[in-house]
């Protein structure tokens, strides 16, 4: 891959992994429009970069989870991950077809509708829960599982699921990003397994990969900080309008 395209992939990954606009959907669009597909090795590097973004931004919360692996918050994180994994396994055959791009526009529209609905409902509701409850963790886990389809935002689905179930906005955003860690890690392991079993010869542009990694990490870190602030105000409408525009473009082109 050319250096410029790799950097673009890094920027897109960093922005869309944590903003509620769907990273997988945007990468499918890029592949369709420019005829260049992200390789598994590139995907691994970019996922690793955003993995480190979460660790940097939520290092205090993560350290507490490491020190207390059986605390209430840790158990809720485990519980949230279970429905995600179950749904991912059940829906995988449909997801493989979705990655061909046919349903992409509709998935972008679904994300936009969810964001707008949450924006409207949250203005009329006061969140009273200080911590995420087990019920809310399950709802967010189910939301994350459904967001396996390209075009449906993982962060958008989980944050909206938490807010609509009455969770505290700040805690919902942090929990959403913590939920991404086991999923990103599992994705990395699956991609590494696919490369090792396929016996592919990896040809890389080292400079391009380094720049892409740095771009994904820096922009991913900024995106997380941005979403933590946006979620407190529940101002999702501009992301929704953007997704509607992207959906129209995906239908036309």
**For residues 134, 175, 118 and 169, what is the CA-based torsion angle, rounded to 10 degrees?**
100
Mean per-residue pLDDT for 224-250?
92
- Tokens coding 28: 């499918």
**Is residue 186 predicted with pLDDT exceeding 90?**
no
Within 8 A by CB and 6+ apart from 69, the residues are none
- Contact in structure between 148 and 87 (CB atoms under 8 Å): yes
pLDDT tens-digit series, residues 118-170 = 999 887 766 555 789 999 999 999 999 999 888 999 999 999 999 999 888 88
- Tokens coding 103: 């349903």
Q: Model-level pTM greater than 0.85?
A: yes
First-residue to last-residue Cα distance in the chain: 23
Q: Model confidence at 205, in pLDDT bands (50, 70, 90)?
A: confident
- Contact in structure between 13 and 27 (CB atoms under 8 Å): yes
- Contact in structure between 54 and 171 (CB atoms under 8 Å): no
pLDDT tens-digit series, residues 14-62 = 999 999 999 888 888 887 787 766 676 788 888 899 999 999 999 999 9
* Structural domain count, the chain: 1
pLDDT tens-digit series, residues 70-104 = 999 999 999 999 999 999 889 888 876 666 657 88
- Tokens coding 194: 């696919």
Closest CA to 36 of 14, 75, 6, 56: 6
- The residue range of the domain holding 94 is 3-252
- Contact in structure between 217 and 14 (CB atoms under 8 Å): yes
Please give the Cα distance from 135 to 80 (Å, whole number).
9
């Amino acid at each position: 891959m050319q250096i410029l395209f790799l950097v673009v992939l890094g920027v897109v990954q960093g922005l869309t992994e944590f903003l509620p606009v769907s990273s997988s959907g945007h990468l499918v669009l890029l592949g369709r429009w420019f005829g260049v597909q992200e390789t598994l090795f590139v995907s691994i590097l970019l996922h690793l970069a955003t993995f480190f973004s979460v660790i940097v931004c939520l290092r205090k919360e993560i350290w507490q989870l490491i020190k207390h692996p059986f605390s209430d918050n840790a158990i809720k994180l485990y519980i949230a991950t279970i429905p995600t994994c179950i749904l991912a396994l059940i829906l995988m055959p449909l997801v493989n077809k979705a990655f061909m791009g046919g349903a992409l526009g509709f998935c972008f529209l679904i994300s936009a509708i969810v964001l707008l609905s949450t924006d409207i409902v949250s203005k009329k509701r006061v969140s009273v829960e200080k911590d995420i409850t087990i019920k809310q963790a399950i709802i967010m886990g189910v939301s994350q599982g459904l967001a396996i389809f390209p075009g449906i935002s993982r962060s958008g689905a989980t944050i909206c699921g938490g807010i609509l179930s009455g969770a505290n906005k700040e805690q919902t955003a942090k929990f959403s990003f913590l939920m991404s860690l086991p999923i990103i890690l599992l994705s990395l392991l699956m991609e590494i397994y696919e490369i090792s079993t396929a016996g592919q010869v990896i040809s890389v542009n080292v400079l391009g990969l380094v720049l892409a990694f740095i771009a994904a990490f820096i922009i991913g870190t900024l995106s997380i900080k941005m979403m933590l602030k946006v979620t407190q105000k529940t101002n999702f409408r501009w992301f929704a309008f953007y997704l509607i525009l992207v959906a129209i473009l995906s239908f036309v082109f």
